[in-house]
Amino acid sequence: MTRSLRIQYPGAYYHVTCRGNEKKVIFTDAQDKKTFLEKLSLSLEIYNVSLLAYVCMPNHFHLLATTPDGNLSEFMRHFNISYTSAFNRRHSRVGHLYQGRYKSFLIDSDNYLLRVSRYIHLNPIRIESYAEKSIDDKIGILLKYKDSSLSGYFSVGKRKDFVNYNIVLKYIGGDNRSGRQEYRKFIELGIDQKTEKPLESGKGLGIVGEADFVQSIKEKFLSMEASEREQPALRELRKIFEPDELINNFAYLISKSRGDVCQRGKRSVERSMLMELLYRFCRITQPEIGRLLGGIDYSSVSQARKRLRIKLENDSQLKKNFDKLIDQLIQMSRGKI
């Protein structure tokens, strides 16, 4: 059986899990868990990976992370080897700790990040012995469970310094009292949704997302017909431009002021193009794009980008103009315009 392809690029989001070899425990006591988190924290720092959520179960773990440098494989290799070595030394054992390679799903952050974070945080009550317990009992179990990032989402005082809580919370009100309360309601609502399995759609390709996100990833990373010339150019553009610089250069190329293209309420094709370029090449999320373009919400950005993709598919001249803009931006980055 062939291995699934690891899709890696700057700013990607992943759900990652590892299970103990032969389903055996990977934590025997609190000291093992402490060592696990120490090794995790160090690997996050070394590889510049941002951890959004985690849970440690007796024989497996789950992580939700984003990789600004597109280096999930390097990060996981270092982390898994580090913890396995420490575990083996402490317990005077040799050999594999985990059952094969880690498993990962590429996540459509704007549509699935909240649900995947909830899936991870609800793991402690998704066991057979708790199946008949009441919702109140399950909430109590979650509140007392120490081996996950959930408590830090409810209380600032219970946070771990190696977890980035802000990214998930900004999709539900922000990292403030109101946002934390909304996230708690979101978690409690999920307790009674026994059938919610957000990762099911990712089986096969390993991509969890809406159809347009999956199609975009296929075209960029899985298509055998992708242009050999275009791909290096896109990677170069992604590395060079900061959001403000891209906005200014884009406005110059279409002969409009920055104020015109960023003005709230506009629904021009050019504005949608700018949203798409910022999302593709500046490593920022749709909420951040919304703030840059007049303070609109992320769903408006998502809808504008979706409308643009449909137009690009059906209007060859528009697609040609959009590709020309990308080429011009690349030339500007090289100082040739």
Domain ranges for the chain: 12-202, 227-333
**230-240 vs 269-281: helix crossing angle, rounded to 10:** 90
- What pLDDT sits at residue 285? 76
- What pLDDT sits at residue 1? 36
Q: What is the pLDDT along the chain (337 residues), one digit of tens a residue?
A: 344 567 888 899 999 999 999 889 999 999 999 999 999 999 999 888 999 999 999 999 999 999 988 889 989 999 999 999 999 999 999 999 999 889 999 999 989 999 999 999 999 998 888 877 888 898 899 989 999 999 999 999 999 999 999 999 999 999 999 999 999 999 999 987 665 788 887 877 889 998 888 888 887 777 644 444 444 444 444 455 788 999 999 999 999 988 888 887 666 899 999 998 887 777 677 788 888 888 888 778 888 888 888 888 888 899 899 989 988 887 887 675 5
Tell me, which fold does domain 227-333 have in CATH?
Chromosomal Replication Initiator Protein Dnaa; Chain: A; (1.10.1750)
Identify whether the C-beta of residue 5 lies closer than 8 Å to the C-beta of residue 49: no
Provide the residue type at 334 as one letter. Answer: R
N- to C-terminal Cα separation, the chain: 50
- Using CB atoms within 10 Å of the CB of residue 192, give its burial: 0 to 12 exposed, 13 to 18 middle, 19+ buried: exposed
CATH 3.30.70.1290 fits 12-202, yes or no: yes
Cα–Cα distance, 231 to 63 (Å, whole number): 29
Identify whether the C-beta of residue 48 lies closer than 8 Å to the C-beta of residue 170: no
User: What pTM did the predictor assign?
Assistant: 0.69
| Helix (H) / strand (E) containing 55 | strand 50-57
131-160 burial by CB neighbour count: b if 16+ within 10 A, else e?
A: eeeeeeebbeebeebebbbbbbbbeeeeee
**Same topology for domains 12-202 and 227-333, yes or no?**
no
- Using CB atoms within 10 Å of the CB of residue 317, give its burial: 0 to 12 exposed, 13 to 18 middle, 19+ buried: exposed
